[in-house]
Structure 1
Amino acid sequence: MKRLHGITTAMVTPFTAEGAVNLEQVEALTEFLIGKGVHALFPLGTTGEMVRLSTAERKQIAETVIRTAAGRVTVYIHAGAATQSDTIELARHAQASGADGIGVVTPQFLGANERELEHYYVTLSRRLPEDFPIYLYNIPQCSANDLPTAVAERVAEQCANVVGIKYSYPDFLRTNEYLAIRDGRFSVMQGADRLLLPALAMGCDGVISGVSCVYPEPFVAVYNAYQAGDLAEARRLQRIAIQYCETLRSGSNMSYFKEALKLRGIDVGHMRAPQLDLPEREVEALRQALAELPRV
Structure 2
Amino acid sequence: MKNLIAATYAPMHQDGSLNLEIIKPYGQFLQSNGVEGAFVNGSTGDFVSLSTIERKQLIEAWAKNRLDTFFVTNHVGHTNIREAQELAAHSENLADAICALPPFYFKPRTLDSLLLYCSEIARSAPSLPFYYYHIPILTGADFPMIDFLKRAVDQIPNFAGIKYSQYNPKDFSQCLHFDQGSKNILFGVDEKMLSSLPLGTTGWVGSTYNHLAPLYYEIISSFIKGDIQKAESLQEKAVFFVETLDKISGFNGAGKSFMRLFGLNLGPSRFPHKTMTDQQLKTAIQALDQHRVLPFLNTSFSEKYLSI
Match of 2:259 among 245, 261, 272: 261
The equivalent of 2:300 in structure 1 is none
Structure 1 segment 64-213 matched on structure 2, within 5 A = 64-97=61-94, 99-114=95-110, 115-129=112-126, 131-149=127-145, 150-213=147-210
Inter-partner Cα distance in structure 1 for 2:21 and 2:213: 21
With over 3 angstroms needed to count, the CA separation of the structure-2 counterparts of 1:258 and 1:125, relative to structure 1, is closer
The residue type paired with residue 18 of structure 2 is V
Give CA-to-partner distance per residue, 1:86-144, whole Å, 9 cap, x none.
Answer: 111111211222x1111111222212122210111122222332x52111101111112
Q: Report the AA paired with residue 231 of structure 1.
A: G
- Residue of 45, 48, 51 corresponding to 1:48: 45
* Matched residues, number: 289
Contact residue 270 and residue 277 of structure 1 kept, 8 A: yes
Alignment match of 2:225 (pick from 218, 230, 237): 230
Q: Percent identity?
A: 27
Partner residue in 2 for 1:17: 14
**Structure 2 gap segments, 5+ residues each:** 297-308
Deviation, 1:80, is 1.1
Match of 1:7 in 2: 4
CA contact (8 A) 2:250 2:273 kept: no
Residue deviations 1:28-79 (CA, integer Å, cap 9, x gap): 2211101111122111100000001111111111111122212121111111
For 1:88 and 1:223, the matched residues in 2 are separated by 37
After the TM superposition, which residues 211-226 of structure 1 pair with which residues of structure 2 at under 5 Å, given as runs? 211-224=208-221
- Any idea what SS the aligned residue of 1:248 has? helix
Q: 1:224 to 1:161 in 2, by over 3 A?
A: farther
Give the 3-state SS of the residue equivalent to 1:109 in structure 2: coil
Cα deviations by residue, 1:11-42 (Å, 9 ceiling, x for unpaired): 01111111101112222221110111112211
Q: Which letter maps to 2:46?
A: E
| Aligned pair partner of 1:273 in 249, 259, 271 | 271
Residue type matched to 2:275 in 1? D
Instruction: Specify which of 28, 32, 44 is matched with residue 31 of structure 1.
Output: 28
For structure 1, list consecutive stretches of 5 or more residues without a partner in the other structure.
Answer: none
Runs of 4+ aligned residues of structure 1 deviating over 4 Å after TM superposition are: 233-236
Give the Cα separation in 1 of the matches to 2:137 and 2:64: 33
Check 1:71–1:234 CA distance in 2 against 1; reply closer, same or farther (3 A cut): farther
Task: Name the amino acid aligned to 2:240.
Answer: Q
User: Aligned match of 1:58 in 49, 55, 58?
Assistant: 55
Query: Structure 1 residues 264 and 290, CA, compared in 2 at 3 Å: closer, same or farther?
Result: farther
Kept in 2, the 8 Å contact 1:82–1:107? The answer is: yes
Equivalent in 289, 292, 308 of residue 291 of structure 1: 289
Partners of 1:224 and 1:24 in 2: CA distance: 35
Per-residue CA distance 1:129-182 (angstroms, 9 max, x = gap): 2x5211110111111212432133211222232111011111212212322433
Q: Please give the TM-score of this superposition, normalised by the length of structure 1.
A: 0.89
1: distance between equivalents of 2:256 and 2:114?
A: 33
The letter of the residue matching 1:132 is L
